[in-house]
Amino acid sequence: MFAARGVAGTGVRDITAAAEVNLAAINYHFGSKEGLVEAVLARSAQRLVEERLKGLAECAEGPGRPPMLEQLISAYVSPSLSYGREAGMDGVAFIRLRARLAVESEEVYRRLLARTFDESSRRFLEAIKAALPALPPDLVTWRFHFMMGSMIFCQVDNGRIQSISEGAIDASDPEGALARLIPFLAAGFRAPP
């Protein structure tokens, strides 16, 4: 319901009514509405991270040594764009929900996302630094940040580029976005310092 109608758009009364439990159940079991959001997201995000790290492990086994930059980017971005899409009917809304929390101002959500994602992101950042030994490490960090921006904006997109391009592009298509993102980001990462 959070994914479908948004966190703010979903009242605790909607949830408890759908679950056929008492109004106070959420506050009793999760402390607050935010606590419930945190619990819901922590579970989904944890599995996404596992998928990411599985991809990272496969990169290390690949033919290129050190792993190709493109492989690393794909392993990082792909689960974020498509995880949740196949499993469950509200997958797309769920992907958007995750992305929207990533740009949220509220401290609670930022701490949750940091706790869940930072460890694996740091490992990817280190791997990409190793794949680009000629570049200053801090510059790679900046570029990693730009990558997160492009990735999250693809997830969150709900019509911006369709509007600008008069419908020529559907940015919410994960395969299409990934196919264009990887060469774009790889070239950006490889730009001379």
Binding site for DNA (CB under 7 A): 10-14, 21-29, 32-34
Q: Does 108 bind its own copies (CB under 8 A)?
A: no
- Closest distance between DNA and the C-beta of residue 2, in Å? 10
Give yes or no for residue 68 binding its own copies (CB under 8 A).
Answer: no
Structural contact between residues 129 and 140, judged by C-beta atoms closer than 8 angstroms: yes
Does position 150 interact with its own copies (CB under 8 A)? The reply is yes
Instruction: Name the nearest CA neighbour of 183 among 70, 89, 71.
Output: 70
**Which residue reads 């599995």 in tokens?**
47
Q: Say how many C-beta atoms besides its own lie within 10 A of residue 150's C-beta.
A: 15
CA distance 66 to 51: 21
CB 80 within 8 A of CB 151: yes
Is 90 an interacting residue with respect to its own copies (CB under 8 A)?
no
Residue 98 interacts with its own copies (CB under 8 A)?
A: no
The residues that touch its own copies, with contacts defined as CB under 8 A, are: 6, 8, 96, 99-100, 102-103, 105-106, 110, 113-114, 118, 121-122, 125, 138-139, 141-154, 156-161, 163-165, 168-169, 171, 176-177, 180-181, 183-192
